[in-house]
Amino acid sequence: MSIERDGLDETIAHYREHGWARLGVLAGEETLAPLRARADAIMLGEVTYEGLFFQHDTDTGRYEDLAYGKGWTGPSLEYRKVEKLEKDPLFWTWLSNDVFRQVAARVYDSSAGVALYRAFLMNKHAGGGTVLPWHQDGGNFWGLDRDPVLQIWTALDDAPLDGGCLEVVDGTHLAGLATPLGGVVPKDHVERAGAESRARKLPAKAGEVIILHNHLWHRSGRTRLGKPRRALSVCYMDGATQCRRKKRAPRSFVRVW
C-alpha cells in the first residue's frame, strides 16, 4: 500500500481547502475481511479488551433517542459505536500504517510526533442504524488544549448514496467551530449556512479512505440496503496535545508515530 508524493500533495491541498479529501481504495479484501470479522467479534463479546467503550443503537433511528452511559449491554451487532479499538492488534496495524503516517506528518509538523485521540467503529447495522446529524469533532467538550484537525475514515463495507455514506458541507472547517462547545451544529446555524442545499454526499467503496478536518460539518444517514455499513474512524492529533479536564485525572494519549 502506497501513495505517490504528487498524489499526496494534491490530496492534502484538497483537504486544506475543502476540509476533506479522498485517499482512494487502500485496503483490499485480505485486509477488510479480518477487520470486519474482528469488529463483529468485539460487538458479540467473543473478543474483549479492558476499557472498551460501547454505545448501542436506537430502536427508532433518531439521534435524540440514543442512550448514554450504558456501555456493554450484551452480545449484539447493533452497537452504534465501539471506541478504543487501538487496543486490538488488527486495528492498530491498520491505523498505524505508513500512508497514514505520511498524511499525519503533512498535517502536524510537530517535533512531539503524532498521538491518538480515539479510534472507533461507526456501525450502521443491517436494520438501518441511527442518523448522525451535522456536527464538528472538537470544542470544549473534548477537553483538550488544542483541537485535533485530522480524522481518517476507512470504509469497511461499501457506503453508497443510500447506504449511510458520509455527507459534508464543503469548506465549513475554515470558519472554525459553530459553538465553543463543539459537537452537534445548532439548527439555527444549519439554516443560516444553507447546509441542506450545500450538502455533498461522499459514497465510498469498501476499503476506500477519506480524510476529514475535525471542524468540517459532516453527518451520515441510515443505511437502506439491509446490510451493515461499518467504518473505522481514527482521530490523530499533535503529540504535544494535553488534556485539560479537572474533575477527573487528565487523560494520557497513545503516541502513534
Of 220, 240, 257, 44, nearest to 135 (Cα)?
220
Q: Is 12 within 8 Å of 150 (Cβ atoms)?
A: no
- What percentage of the chain has pLDDT greater than the value 70? 98
CATH for 5-255 is: 2.60.120.620
Q: What is the largest CA-CA distance in the chain?
A: 47
Return the pLDDT at 109.
Answer: 87
Dist. CA 206–CA 187, nearest whole Å: 32
89: pLDDT strictly greater than 70: yes
> What is the percent of the chain with per-residue pLDDT over 90, rounded to a whole number?
91
d(CA 232, CA 154): 5
Model confidence at 2, in pLDDT bands (50, 70, 90)? Answer: low
Q: Does residue 57 have a pLDDT over 80?
A: yes
- DSSP per-residue string spanning 18-62: HSEEEEEE---HHHHHHHHHHHHHHHTTSS--TT-EEEEPPSS--
How confident is the model over 174-199, as a mean pLDDT? 97
Question: If you average pLDDT over residues 75-104, what whole number do you get?
Answer: 98
pLDDT for 27 beyond 80: yes
Rounded to an integer, what distance in angstroms lies between the CA atom of residue 233 and that of residue 141?
A: 19
pLDDT one-digit tens code per residue, 100-135 = 999 999 999 888 999 999 999 999 999 999 999 999
Instruction: Kindly report the backbone phi and psi dihedral angles of residue 103, in degrees, each rounded to the nearest multiple of 5, phi listed first.
Output: -65, -50
How confident is the model at residue 198, as a pLDDT?
Answer: 97
HSE value, Cβ hemisphere, 13 Å, CA-based, for 155: 25
Q: How many helices (H) and strands (E) does the chain have?
A: 6, 13
Gap between the Cα atoms of 174 and 103, Å rounded: 19
The whole-chain average pLDDT of the chain stands at 95
Q: What strands lie across the sheet with 199-202, from one edge to the other?
A: 183-184, 132-136, 218-220, 166-169, 199-202
